[in-house]
Structures are given as C-alpha cells and as structure tokens.
C-alpha cells in the first residue's frame, strides 16, 4: 500500500510540476501581451499627439493667411500716391 501511495504522490508531484510550468508559461505570455498592448497604446498616443500638434501649428497659419491677404504691389503704390497727394495738398493750404 505504501508503494501505491508513493506512486500517487509521484503522479501528483508531476501534475503539480506541469501545472506550475503551465502557469509560468501563461504568466510569461500574459506579460508579453501586456507589453505589446502598452507599446501599441503609446504609439497611438504619440500619433494622436503629433496629429494634434501639426493641426495646432499649421492650421492657425492657414487661417492667418486666409484672413489677411497682403496688398498687391499696385495697391501699395496707390496708397503711397494718395499719401503723397495728401501731403502736397496739406502744404499748399498752409
């Protein structure tokens, strides 16, 4: 009967050793998945940050360009001529 108990104990030890090995493998796999998920999350956050940064830096410049058009050379010339004419008229009146 003692031999029977010893063989059962050996089988039990083998099963517990196998279970322990399986648990270690599962833990390692779980850790790998966690690392991969963390990496993917960081990459997604970095991508979103870059997109927002680009949007924040480029779009305001585009809006400024749209809202403020530089005068053409002809328009600038007309303004200068009007100023000059006004200065001449001002001097004649005096």
Q: What is the pLDDT of residue 12?
A: 72
Q: Is 70 left (phi over 0), alpha (psi -120 to 50) or beta?
A: beta
What range does the domain containing 7 cover? 2-93
Report whether pLDDT(75) > 70: yes
What would the pLDDT profile of 2-57 be if each residue is shown by its tens digit? Answer: 556 666 667 777 778 889 999 999 999 999 999 999 999 999 999 999 988 888 78
CB 72 within 8 A of CB 64: no
**How many domains, in total, are found in the chain?**
1
pTM for the predicted model, two decimal places = 0.47
């Amino acid at each position: 009967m003692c031999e029977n108990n010893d063989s059962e104990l050996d089988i039990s030890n083998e099963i517990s050793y196998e279970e322990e090995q399986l648990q270690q493998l599962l833990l390692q796999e779980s850790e790998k998945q966690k690392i991969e998920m963390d990496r993917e999350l960081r990459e997604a956050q970095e991508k979103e940050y870059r997109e927002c940064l680009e949007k924040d830096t480029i779009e305001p410049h585009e809006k400024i360009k749209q809202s403020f058009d530089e005068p053409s050379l002809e328009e600038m010339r007309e303004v200068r001529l009007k100023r000059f004419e006004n200065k001449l008229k001002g001097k004649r009146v005096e």
